[in-house]
């Protein structure tokens, strides 16, 4: 007798697993990009201290855009969990 996937795992546990996967994968990319951005920004400031203002402004803007991706992942995870 063959059992279906829906007979083995209920819907709520599938939603929890999908939420965990979305948050796990959805935060790895932004975390890595923020680390790389900060590293390269500090390296650039170290090489050219006179340009600190321009570099820092662009670095913070890029970090905000990278963080927005993590927020999108959070929204998708909440939609999966509660809908």
What pLDDT, in 10s, does the model give residues 22-69? 999 999 999 999 999 999 999 999 999 999 999 999 999 999 999 999
Residue 6 pLDDT class (50, 70, 90 cuts): low
Tokens (6 digits) for 82: 């509660």
Q: Which pLDDT does position 80 carry in this prediction?
A: 93
Burial of 27 (0-12, 13-18, 19+ CB in 10 A): middle
Q: What is the distance between the alpha carbons of residues 70 and 81, in angstroms, rounded to a whole number? A: 16
Q: Which pLDDT does position 11 carry in this prediction?
A: 84
Q: Which domains does the chain have, with CATH numbers?
A: 12-82 (1.20.20.10)
CB 4 within 8 A of CB 69: no
Of 27, 33, 26, nearest to 59 by C-alpha is 33
Q: Which pLDDT does position 5 carry in this prediction?
A: 65
Count the neighbouring beta carbons within 10 Å of the beta carbon of residue 16: 12
């Amino acid at each position: 007798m063959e059992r279906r996937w829906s007979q083995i795992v209920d819907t709520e546990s599938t939603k929890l697993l999908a939420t965990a996967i979305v948050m796990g994968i959805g935060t790895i990319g932004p975390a890595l990009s923020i680390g790389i951005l900060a590293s390269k920004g500090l390296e650039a400031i170290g090489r050219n201290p006179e340009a600190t203002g321009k570099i820092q402004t662009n670095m913070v803007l890029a970090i905000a855009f990278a963080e927005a991706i993590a927020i999108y992942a959070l929204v998708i995870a909440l939609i999966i969990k509660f809908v």
